[in-house]
Chains A and B, each alone.
Chain A
Amino acid sequence: MLIILVSLGLGLLSGAVMHRSDFCLAGAIRDVFLFRSSPLFPSLVLLIALNIVFIEIARLSGLVVYQLPSSLYGLPALTTFIGGIVFGVGMVLAGGCVVGALYKLGAGSLSACIAIIGMMSGSLVYSGLHPYWKDLSEKTRMSEVATLPQLLGLNQTVMMIVVVFVLFLMLFRWHKQGVLIRPSFVSGYLQPWMAALLLSFVTLVSFAAVGMPLGITTSYSKAGAFIAQLVAPAWVTSQEFLQHRGFNYYSPLADTILSAGPGPYLDGLSLVQFPLIGGIIIGAFFSSVQMRKFKIHYSVPKIQLLSALAGGILLGMASRMSPACNVWHLLGGIPLLSLQSLLFFFGLFPGAWIGTFLLTRFVVRVK
């Protein structure tokens, strides 16, 4: 029960914070290619740097216990890089990532709703590909260690200090250029650097209390699988991917190891992710109602809705190929210097570049 309440609380806070600051992780990377300058990118770097500092301090003080590789972040494989590319294309076409779509849905976005339906369908599409993808993932394994310090044979804390130092040098430069603080012409806008600070707090509480970083995409598979079971139960039973429960993690609140999987049943992951998802949507909803800006607009060009659907399907597939989403990798994995997460992160850039090309070519003509 406590797990549900903590997750719901984290979701409500994240939803409201992300809505107020429009902390769109997809936009932060997309705008590097679309506008040649990304107003949110410095705040994303700030969030990653703060997460490294907080999580490492928590680890050294015994508040957070983790050992990689684990179910959270496995061994690096080239398939994660490919997953990152597909995710990058998907997030640009969908107009937001797997979490961004939730807070936009909470604010009344029709396209975000369509993107989420796409994500559920994409997870099921992946289910059919799973046996081949798993095989490919094992064949393209790049190392037998899970993190960058392990790969380089360096002390983890020393490595973290070096990385944080470089990131803070970058942030100091952005601060000098005055790009960390965004100009605002409306009331109720939360500065993204402030959002980064609050979200790093959310990530720390999530690690310390729930036992893992923020993540939601397995629930898209679950939701898709629940629906599929109503329509085609025999197909769901035949899918190896949907029957497998390979995810194990230690839950500090329950003080036990919980196991989970992507199939149509409630387990140790739905206990965390369903309240988190609900919290983000409700948090964003209250935030937009309080700003008196909640409204559903139906007059959206069809090509944009089609783009959201296609992007959603790609996101759903990529989240299982990687095998997690951008929030899981960027907010949780990169701060642990997980090689899987770094591969995913580097895949996002070519993906966002391809996505931007497709968007400006087929969805919105710029000229």
Chain B
Amino acid sequence: MTTNPPSAVSVDVRGFVCPSSLLIALRELNKYRDSLRTDDFTMELMVDNHDSTNRICDAVKSMGYDFQVSDVGHGYCIAVSKPKILKDGHL
């Protein structure tokens, strides 16, 4: 029997000292880059600061992933996933 890889990973950087939140978010995105190329995998980044949210989204966008920002509690949740149309060599 094989275990399936996780379909979602959540990373919480709320309350972290600037710029640790951004550095950790980028590190985790890099760590899960193989999973992020598969379908049905979502990475949720929980962020409490609006500037970090902007910068993470900007970075995610330039990496070519799809993302969605939503207000969750007193912070933001950035859901990152494989782009619908995958361009070769973009990831």
Contacts and interface: CB of A to CB of B under 8 A. Distances in A.
Interface string B27-57: 1000000000000000000001111011101
B30 to A, nearest CB: 8
A182 B61 CA distance: 14
Task: Tell me what chain A mostly uses at the interface: helix, strand, loop, or mixed.
Answer: loop
A295 B49 contact: no
B1 interface: no
A366 B51 CA distance: 20
A363 B69 contact: no
B50 A189 contact: yes
A39 B59 CA distance: 12
A186 interface: yes
Interface of A: 21-22, 24, 27, 30-31, 34, 39, 94-96, 104, 107, 109-111, 182-186, 188-189, 291-301, 304-305, 307-308, 359-360, 363-367
B33 to A, nearest CB: 13
A110 B48 CA distance: 13
B74 to A, nearest CB: 4
Interface size class of B (residues with CB under 8 A): 20 to 34
A186 B75 CA distance: 11
B48 A95 contact: no
A364 B27 CA distance: 10
Given A34-B19, A295-B74, A366-B26, 5 more contacts: A21-B51, A104-B18, A186-B53, A299-B15, A367-B27
B31 to A, nearest CB: 9
6 contacts: A27-B19, A182-B54, A293-B50, A295-B73, A304-B20, A364-B24
Contacts of B23: 34, 360, 364, 366
A189 B49 CA distance: 11
Contact of A186 (B15, B24, B54): B54
A314 B33 CA distance: 38
Nearest to A297: B15
B48 A297 contact: yes
B54 A96 contact: no
B58 A292 contact: no
Nearest to A107: B49
B18 A95 contact: yes
A293 B46 CA distance: 13
B51 A22 contact: yes
